[in-house]
Structure 1
């Protein structure tokens, strides 16, 4: 039985095709603020795969999600969209208004926080760097920070007379030129923020997202675990608990 899993973020659309819980295809593309158009271009491919069901994680607004849903209905299979809830599968949401928590963050915590006796720190190193904390099955909330590249772009846009080309975020040493000072400073700021959170309360550290290996290098003291496709695991767990969930 083939299943399609979609993660629609603010800048990228990711999809996985699974069969018997094994990933047989994976794709990710920038949607340039037009995810429905990108999805439309993929529909013919999906139709050929004999998909039996679709699970969706989307951070888009209601109108955009309705367009996505309308397109996916062309597959003529069940389409279920995950939603943040005050409580789900025993996990309590830490937000005052649960619906304000990004579904991507909720699913990642849901995938990890299953032991009531452990403390967790789940960090997604994507377009934004998000930090979510959980004590057992109680989500505590978290933090959202601009990622490495957003910070660099903001500095370029707001600093006159200084050109900051792309360079590696490769170490935390004091920069001996402006380019290195910028890159090392941004990386230092984010690593230090994470360390501050972890020092306040020891936790199991889980990293996911494209920059997870980079941050893991500087957080070795906390024995980080890198989880690839963590959002997919959260989606699968979400629907495994209540396969008849509806939008």
Structure 2
């Protein structure tokens, strides 16, 4: 049994893999990381455990402490120059987010061609993995919820919108939501444009389904992409 954990800025995601498939997965707010021990009571003691973290050293320490009471010691995926057939061309490879690195490794296990890897969470990241397995670079932009919150916080007359995606919005709520979603889709599609016609776009993260509705390029939603990258990393060790 393998336990994989992804500590993001907003959510702490986890999954259990039995060697054939993900048999269980879930999430809790990262701010409630101390509650991970309650969930871990049902996990097999001494199981292989692998994790990545972009939420800071305090959260990492809480996760370690919560798991140790159940006989679990996570191995941490850290960004590096190479791992699992993926080469990191970041100017400083260690500065790449661990979740982005895990997603790229997960994507490489799904395709051997060019791929655009989109992680849609608190921030949206858009990363190009080429057919040779080289991470060529990528974008970071505010996630959809951050965009919506920024408009509500910094303008006098715009609310925190709960509208819908429309081709030609005719009310403020729809105009805000459609604008933010189209901004996300536009960044993704501009990044996708120079890739070969056979390229694949993979989306993961809490906002993946909302962004999917705005995209006009072929794409797939892979909810466990980061967990799959962690699993591949664990198997390589």
Flag whether TM exceeds 0.5 (same fold): yes
Q: How much has 1:200 moved relative to structure 2?
A: 2.6
Alignment partners' CA distance in 1, 2:233 and 2:80: 11
Assess if the C-alpha contact under 8 Å between 2:36 and 2:63 holds in 1: no
Query: Would the alpha carbon gap of residues 215 and 74 (structure 1) be closer, same or farther in structure 2, given more than 3 Å must change?
Result: same
How far does the alpha carbon of each residue in 1:40-85 deviate from its partner, in whole angstroms, 9 at most, with x for none?
3332442343232211111133354234323322222442111111
Q: Which residue of 2 aligns with 1:49?
A: 43
What's the TM-score once normalised by structure 2's chain length?
0.88
CA distance in 2: counterparts of 1:177 and 1:47, whole angstroms = 49
Root-mean-square deviation (CA, aligned residues, Å) is 2.2
Q: Which has the larger radius of gyration?
A: 1
**Structure 2, gaps ≥5 residues long:** none
Are 2:163 and 2:176, in contact at CA under 8 Å, matched by a contact in 1?
A: no
Q: How has the CA–CA distance of structure 1 residues 211 and 62 changed in structure 2, closer, same or farther, with 3 Å as cutoff? A: closer
* Structure 1 residues 67 and 76: CA distance shift in structure 2, 3 A: same
| Partners of 1:111 and 1:237 within 8 A in 2 | yes
Give distance in 2, aligned partners of 1:59 and 1:92.
20
Q: Which residue of 1 aligns with 2:22?
A: 23
Match of 1:195 in 2: 189
What is the number of residues matched between the two proteins? Answer: 233
Q: Mapping of 1:125-140 within 5 angstroms?
A: 125-136=120-131, 137-140=133-136
1:85 aligns with 2:80: yes
Is 1:172–1:188's contact at 8 Å kept on the other side of the alignment? no
Q: Using structure 1 for the length normalisation, give the TM-score.
A: 0.84
Aligned to 1:171, the other structure's residue is in SS state coil
Alignment CA distance shift 1:12-1:139 (3 Å): same
Residues 1:231 and 2:226 are matched in the alignment: yes
| 2:14/2:26 contact within 8 Å kept | yes
Deviation at 1:199, TM superposition (A): 1.6
1:61 aligns with 2:56: yes
CA–CA distance in structure 1, aligned partners of residues 210 and 33 of structure 2: 30
8 A contact 2:151–2:158 mirrored in 1: no
